[in-house]
Amino acid sequence: QVEVIRKFVGSLDHVEPEKVALAEELMVERAAEDDPNALARYGERWVRDVIDPDGKAPEDDEPQRPERELRRHIFRDGRMEFKGRLDAETAALFDALLAPFEKREADDTRGYAERGGDAFADVLQKAANCPDLPTHNGYKTEVAFTISMDELTKSVDERVLPGTRLTAGEARRIACDAHVLPAVMGGDSKPLDVAVPAYVVPAHIRRGLVLRDRGCAFPGCDRPASVCHSHHIKSWLRGGPTALGNLVLLCGQHHRLIHRSEWEVRLDGGVAWFTPPDYVDPVRTPRRNHLEQCLRSVDRPRKGVPSR
């Protein structure tokens, strides 16, 4: 009991002497009734709360800024590798943001790391859409075409465009939902005229698209509209109009799938129907997203469109 009192009083070296004396007096009085363990609990739970409610003041050299680091390395092909650390508060926020996007889906063949990477990409897409973003203010990626439109349209998907790390297929996919800046270039690649920027998908059409599709329209996908791209069913590069009747919301994963595979999509009564390639379904039966977020008030199949 004497040892318990000695240690407790020693932990009060930052408290005024008169308060230390009072604490010692209270502990000595209690020692006549309690064993050492009970006496220690009494000191921590009651005496300290009376004598030292605010606790010890923080050290002057305590870090004023949270421990957060991010190291990035960009490879020649444009891929990035990064490593870092977060303080506990930011780490909890990071996990909370990723959690809704990295849950395992039905027939999901992705590993833990792949799901985490896709979730991180979705969070970045959501942040890029935020109207309070300091530099973009919610605007999509700005794309300036410095090659002829014919060359971009005719380039094979895997061809890397001059002066970029992007293939023609990737450029066409990004341009589906980008802030396009047409530019006329001279023979020495100097800009002769730069048009006023215009949205490929204006804000009012994007809002209508979100109200209609509510999220990724691909069958079985439940990703929200905030991380989805606006996909032109008939490419605007080939004259497809920027109108609700030619647009569908797709998450990044299924947007890439549509551009890189033989999946086909069409709208019927405002509902997107996806026709798989024959190696997925030899019969090529059209499919739609039956999840609740994509259901419409009119759910009857139209002529020539199967109900399943």
Tokens 């094979």 sit on residue: 156
Dump pLDDT digits (tens) for 263-304.
999 999 889 999 999 988 999 999 999 874 444 443 444 444
Segment 230-258, tens digit of pLDDT: 888 887 667 778 788 889 999 888 888 88
Residue 14 is predicted with a pLDDT of 83
pTM of the complete model: 0.44
- The confidence score (pLDDT) of residue 198 equals 44
* Residue range 8-33, pLDDT digits in tens: 888 888 888 888 898 899 899 988 88
Contact criterion met (CB below 8 Å) for 258 and 221? no
Instruction: For the chain, give the longest Cα–Cα distance.
Output: 98
Share in percent of the chain as helix, strand, coil (round to 5): 35, 20, 45
> What's the rounded Cα separation, in Å, for the pair 73 and 95?
23
Q: Which amino acid is at 53?
A: P
Mean residue pLDDT of the chain comes to 76
Structural contact between residues 260 and 169, judged by C-beta atoms closer than 8 angstroms = yes
Confidence of residue 152 (pLDDT cuts 50, 70, 90): low
Give the 3-state secondary structure of residue 51.
helix
Structure tokens at 215: 């999220």
Q: Which of 250, 228, 297, 241 is nearest to 269 (CA)?
A: 297
pLDDT above 90: percentage of residues in the chain = 14
Question: Which residue shows structure tokens 């700005």?
Answer: 142
Name the nearest CA neighbour of 233 among 251, 217, 247: 247
Report d(CA 122, CA 101) in Å as an integer.
7
